[in-house]
Amino acid sequence: MKIFKDKISLQKEILNKPISFIPTMGGLHKGHISLIKKSKKYKRKTLVSIFVNPRQFSKKSDYRNYPRNKFKDVSILRNLSVNYLYLPSIKDIYGFKPKNKIFLHKFSKKLCGKFRKGHFEGVINVMNRLIEIIKPKKIFMGKKDYQQLFLIKRFIAKNKINSKIIECDTVRQANGVAFSSRNSLLKSNDIKIASKVYHFINKIKKRFDIYNENFLKKKMIELGASKVDYIENYNIKKNFVKSKKYNKNCKIFIAYYIKNVRLIDNI
């Protein structure tokens, strides 16, 4: 595996090579591993980036506390025979003016966009820059961050960028909890709470219309959540129209805290 810390050296290496790209913020887990394995099936060169993007954090403390373990991450990537690892500095990412303009679909103001000011602007900004640097043919992203996935797809389509997003299913622990870098901040009892929340939502989803949002939030608090930002049902086949009833075209989106750790999921 070749490791690059500056974009000039990376671009020289991958020039004219069809690249499959997995953008990450590190803290690699089985979800990331599944993305890499899927990428390798396409028999292209696989490039993983690790960059904790400061511009998508609304709180400095959240940025500082984000899980980082570069030694472990590099070891995982070597064992998976990843071709390239990009470890850029903040200056390397933000030290140039990108060609494409930021485009945020109106759905960016819902869900996490409502509770995390500037979050999606930061996400699209860094993805715009990474795509311009790498020029990947395919980008592999998980469905756990479904709102983010949707917004990046719309940004790519709006700017007619020649990169295709490959959507990958959420990978879960046996207890139902979606793998996330932030899970490393949770204790064993916290994981049990997250499991209870997942099973509760999964159990009631087909009867979602008989409950109101306040009741569902209260129930999540009773299960052990410290705070609930939202629990909302959207039809993802109809351009994210909010729906009272749950069906195969819908996803229930949740964001909640266990102590000071914020977790998101869609079920």
Give the residue numbers annotated as catalytic, written as ranges: 32
Reported as type and span, the H/E element at residue 23 is: strand 19-24
Q: How many CB atoms lie within 10 A of CB 66?
A: 17
Q: Which residue shows structure tokens 């039809």?
A: 235
Alpha carbons within 13 angstroms on the beta-carbon side of residue 64 total 3
Reported as type and span, the H/E element at residue 26 is: none
Helix (H, G, I), strand (E, B) or coil at 160: coil
Q: How many CB atoms lie within 10 A of CB 30?
A: 11
Residues 155 and 131 sit within 8 Å (Cβ to Cβ): no
Q: Return d(Cα 266, Cα 204) in angstroms, integer.
A: 13
Q: Return d(Cα 130, Cα 168) in angstroms, integer.
A: 20
Helix (H, G, I), strand (E, B) or coil at 131: helix
Alpha carbons within 13 angstroms on the beta-carbon side of residue 124 total 24
Could you give the C-alpha distances from 143 to 35, 61, 159, 244, 264, in angstroms and in order?
11, 26, 22, 22, 11
